[in-house]
Amino acid sequence: MRHTGLLAGAVTAVSAQASYGNGYGGAGPNNLTFETSIKVNAAQQYQKMIGGGCSGAFGAACTTNTLSAADQEAVVQTLFGENYGGLSILRNLIGSSKGATILPSCPDTPAGPFNYSLPGNDTCQLPLARTALKYNPDLFLYADAWSAPGCFKTTGMEAGGGVICGVRRSNCTQDWREAYANYLIEYVKLYQQRGINVSLLGAYNEPDFNPFTYSAMLSDGYQAYDFLSIFYPMVKKAFPSLAVSCCDSTGARQQRDLLYELGRLGGTNLFDVNTYHNYQSDIKEPFDDLLKGQPTIETEWSDGGTNWTPTWDKSGNNFEGFQWAIYMHNAFRNNVAGWSHWWCTWTGGDAALINVNGTSYQVAARLWAFSGYFRFARPGAVRLDAESGVEEVYVTAWQNTNGSVAIPVVNAAHYAYTLDISLAGTNVSHGVAYLTDNDHNVTMSEGFAVSGGRFQAVIEPRAMKTYFLDSQ
Ligand SMILES: *[C@@H]1O[C@H](CO)[C@@H](O)[C@H](O)[C@H]1NC(C)=O
Ligand SMILES: *[C@@H]1O[C@H](CO)[C@@H](O)[C@H](O)[C@H]1NC(C)=O
Ligand SMILES: *[C@@H]1O[C@H](CO)[C@@H](O)[C@H](O)[C@H]1NC(C)=O
Ligand SMILES: *[C@@H]1O[C@H](CO)[C@@H](O)[C@H](O)[C@H]1NC(C)=O
Ligand SMILES: *[C@@H]1O[C@H](CO)[C@@H](O)[C@H](O)[C@H]1NC(C)=O
Ligand SMILES: *[C@@H]1O[C@H](CO)[C@@H](O)[C@H](O)[C@H]1NC(C)=O
Ligand SMILES: *[C@@H]1O[C@H](CO)[C@@H](O)[C@H](O)[C@H]1NC(C)=O
Ligand SMILES: *[C@@H]1O[C@H](CO)[C@@H](O)[C@H](O)[C@H]1NC(C)=O
Ligand SMILES: *[C@@H]1O[C@H](CO)[C@@H](O)[C@H](O)[C@H]1NC(C)=O
């Protein structure tokens, strides 16, 4: 159903005497060249970019400790530096397990006393946040809990499900909701005391899923209403500009179900950012019908397996960089404003963007897919309407706050496309292309001038190319 209006006549062969009735070029099947048009219209605008990210949760932030001090810095710069990975979201775990929690001992009743303290360097998340801030001073720190302290829950344990005492169907003798709200706010205060601002605060991680073995707490949309209706006003009182998330479900469909239930009780105004994960279902349609204008961020995804896939496009598996470029494209077209990988770094497997192996590290090409978007469509950029003439060439367009325009294009064909790109409603006059494929990592390539609101460009086979246009 994509772009049917533009399809007719948009695909034409470049070579002269060919007959393309059967789709093959006259000079033989090994010499196919194609062209199509891309139309960008700045008058039609969608969501505002929040950015790309990753997490140092569950000890991931400590996995760089085996590297030299210089390489530890280089890894964080590679992820968060504007001219490298271009990330801006860091998702912290508000730890609930022994040794990782800010509440090492639990009072007998919700009346307290509560003795909070940050455990050491917060399992290396604090130094990671500090270094990330050095390379991206506008870091968007998302502090998120996987579970309440065990003693606040029906099960008495932080791992393996249970619900917070006080919500419907919890059937506890005491109501711990306010205590949980205070505990989450306390984590923000402990970071603030160390000079680090949290931007977004979350009470849930995958509340639709019981992993049985590790930190987890369940909630349906009705139970989320029972907690958020206490939590949301408390957050706003403590930190008026701190945003509240809901609810990091395992997939877009699971998140829709939760939001639907929350909305039935009138709870759609009890959060500021709609957060979901991409594990159990990916996004098929915008969340807009279930929201009151809040932005959406995909806050976690990766492969839990042991394979490490550093490549861009060698095997076609879904953890190659090329595939992630298209996953993100699809999310953006469905009005998603941010996209976070699971771990930033780890010691094996596709759960991380960077693999650390003793004293060396390797960057997955997935990060170059992130960079193709987030280096150029910076936080605050607004998505513009952009249509490609053909299905296999994917396009989004973004206008930064200073008027510069980023056009990330992904060519899924195994042959190059010549693109005739037209822009309406912008002032850009010239640009530079940045190429990512098997041999290039967001490499600056050709420059070009924009004339009469259009320019011609070539995109290589199986490549992502970001056209970055400015007016000065
Ligand atoms: C491809 O086709 C074009 C136009 O017919 C021709 O000029 C060119 O030489 C061909 N290239 C190869 C490698 O056959
Ligand atoms: C509070 O916790 C700190 C650090 O864990 C500890 O040193 C202190 O004794 C505790 N205070 C009380 C009153 O339990
Ligand atoms: C953070 O604490 C861990 C122990 O939990 C330690 O191994 C690591 O060196 C510390 N990192 C920094 C940067 O202080
Ligand atoms: C609630 O708890 C009481 C006391 O433990 C128990 O008798 C009752 O069966 C529980 N009700 C439900 C619905 O679980
Ligand atoms: C943190 O937030 C406070 C209040 O919103 C602001 O005054 C301060 O400048 C911020 N600090 C940093 C380091 O961004
Ligand atoms: C880690 O490095 C060792 C020694 O250089 C090598 O044998 C091993 O294959 C590496 N492991 C991974 C997962 O890259
Ligand atoms: C691109 O990055 C990969 C790691 O993702 C690295 O192995 C490769 O050498 C880099 N290539 C260039 C041309 O920088
Ligand atoms: C406009 O903003 C973009 C994104 O922050 C930046 O890369 C670019 O250099 C800026 N352009 C000018 C002319 O300042
Ligand atoms: C383009 O330039 C005009 C005139 O200077 C200005 O009014 C308009 O806001 C600019 N548009 C953008 C998108 O920067």
User: Which atom of ligand 1 is least distant from the CA of 17?
Assistant: 5
Q: Where are the alpha helices (DSSP H) in 240-302?
A: 252-264
> pLDDT by residue (tens digit) across 346-387?
999 999 999 999 999 999 999 999 999 999 999 999 999 999
CB 117 within 8 A of CB 272: no
Domain ranges of the chain: 1-34+387-418+458-472, 50-374
Report the separation in Å between the CA atom of 135 and the middle of ligand 6, taken as the mean of its atom positions: 29
- As for ligand 8, residues whose beta carbon falls within 6 Å of it are 378, 400, 402, 404, 470, 472
Q: Per 3-state DSSP, what percentage of the chain is helix, strand, and coil (rounded to 5)?
A: 25, 30, 45
Predicted confidence at residue 31, as pLDDT, reads 62
What are the distances in angstroms from CA 192 to CA 141, 187, 196, 239, 271? 12, 9, 5, 11, 21
Would the pTM of this model clear 0.85, i.e. be above it?
A: yes
CB 403 within 8 A of CB 42: no
Rg for the chain, CA atoms, rounded: 24
**457 φ, ψ (degrees, to nearest 5):** -150, 155
CB 47 within 8 A of CB 102: no
> Which DSSP symbol is given to 471?
-
Q: What is the CATH number of domain 50-374?
A: 3.20.20.80
Beta bridge partners of 455: 421
**Which of 191, 197, 199, 242 for a ligand 5 pocket mutation test, highest count of atoms within 8 Å of Cβ?**
197
Q: Where are the alpha helices (DSSP H) in 345-431?
A: 366-374
Closest-CA residue, ligand 3 atom 1, reads 124
Predicted confidence at residue 29, as pLDDT, reads 66
- Could you tell me how far CA 243 lies from the centroid of its own chain? 17
CB 170 within 8 A of CB 117: no
What are the distances in angstroms from CA 159 to CA 143, 149, 196? 18, 9, 28
Listed residue (382, 470, 378) closest to 42, CA to CA: 382
What are the distances in angstroms from CA 290 to CA 275, 285, 340? 13, 11, 22
Predicted confidence at residue 109, as pLDDT, reads 98
Which residue in the block uniquely carries the two structure tokens 């494209």? 329
Task: Check pocket membership of 357 for ligand 6, CB cut-off 6 A.
Answer: yes
Predicted confidence at residue 28, as pLDDT, reads 60
Q: Where are the alpha helices (DSSP H) in 84-147?
A: 125-135
Residue stretches of the chain with pLDDT short of 50: 1-26
Report the separation in Å between the CA atom of 106 and the middle of ligand 2, taken as the mean of its atom positions: 12
Predicted confidence at residue 253, as pLDDT, reads 98
What does the block give as tokens for 296? 């959406």
Predicted confidence at residue 30, as pLDDT, reads 65
Determine the Cα–Cα distance for residues 183 and 39; give it in Å rounded to an integer.
Answer: 50
Report the separation in Å between the CA atom of 427 and the middle of ligand 9, taken as the mean of its atom positions: 6
Predicted confidence at residue 27, as pLDDT, reads 53
Listed residue (206, 189, 48, 191) closest to 132, CA to CA: 191
Which residue in the block uniquely carries the two structure tokens 């085996």? 66
Q: Give 453's contacts (C-beta < 8 A, 6+ positions apart).
A: 422, 423, 424, 426
Determine the Cα–Cα distance for residues 12 and 28; give it in Å rounded to an integer.
Answer: 16
> pLDDT by residue (tens digit) across 249-283?
999 999 999 999 999 999 999 999 999 999 999 99
Report the separation in Å between the CA atom of 36 and the middle of ligand 1, taken as the mean of its atom positions: 19
CB 257 within 8 A of CB 209: no
